[in-house]
Amino acid sequence: MKYRKKPVVIEAVRITHAWFDAPHPNPLHPVGLMMNPLTRTVEVKTLEGVMTAEIGDWIITGIKGERYPCKPDIFAATYEPVYGEDHMLGQFEAKNHLDDKEFSDGGYVKGMGLQINWQDGPLGHDNTRLAPNGAFVETVIAAAKQRIEFYQEAHNGKFKCRENAIAITKLTEALFWLNKRTQDRENRNVEGTTAT
């Protein structure tokens, strides 16, 4: 007899190089994992014993809180993202455009109370720099961060909580890494161009 896996929503996080490059204590990985910075692996306590996960692997938290690693090809064949099932995550439509050379060429995101038109094409640099014609990811992240910071302070901190603080930390970290990427590109004189 054949069986089909029941549709169960799980939590999952992917191991990246940033797990090992971030300052300690590492804010990027779930609590309770043992990281080995020398081998850049993660030990996961599973119901079957300790298993080792590598960069690129996924760590899944099951319906009873159990954790186990999963290789990326198995994960991709078994799971797909769930959007709109969180109580506060509304439905949205997103479209990313590419030019004829497969470079990013703008796009949009729209949903209830949300309309973002992304920067369309490179800006150039130095004397040839153009004015932006759309939003940057950094601006959207900074706007979301500002809103959560507002929640932390509004009504004399009535809605202040650890989860908001963690979200602010993660968004601040995202801005840090995106700024580092921009600085690296500026140092190589390729910022504002399609060169890599």
Residues 92-103: pLDDT tens digits? 788 888 888 888
84 against 143, higher pLDDT: 143
Q: Within this chain, do residues 98 and 137 fall inside the same structural domain, yes or no?
A: yes
For position 22, what pLDDT does the model report? 62
Quote the domain boundaries for residue 50: 11-78
Q: Within this chain, do residues 96 and 65 fall inside the same structural domain, yes or no?
A: no
Pure H helices in the chain: 18-21, 72-78, 137-157, 162-187
Instruction: Tell whether 85 is covered by a domain.
Output: no
| DSSP 8-state class, residue 126 | G
Residue 148: which H helix or E strand, with range? Answer: helix 137-157
For residues 38 and 52, is the Cβ–Cβ distance under 8 A? no
- Point out which residues pair with 34 in neighbouring strands: 43
Number of domains the chain contains? 2
Whose CA is closest to 11, among 51, 63, 55, 46? 63
- What's the predicted TM-score (pTM) here? 0.56
Highest mean pLDDT among 93-97, 103-107, 140-144: 140-144
Task: Report the alpha-carbon distance of residue 167 to residue 58 in Å, rounded.
Answer: 21
- Mean pLDDT over each residue of the chain, to the nearest integer: 85
For position 147, what pLDDT does the model report? 95
83 against 80, higher pLDDT: 80
Picking from 29, 45, 78, the residue at the C-terminal end of a domain is: 78
Highest mean pLDDT among 9-13, 26-30, 63-67, 138-142: 138-142
Residues 160-177: pLDDT tens digits? 899 899 999 999 999 999
Whose CA is closest to 14, among 34, 38, 37, 42? 42
For position 25, what pLDDT does the model report? 52
For position 178, what pLDDT does the model report? 94
For residues 53 and 65, is the Cβ–Cβ distance under 8 A? no
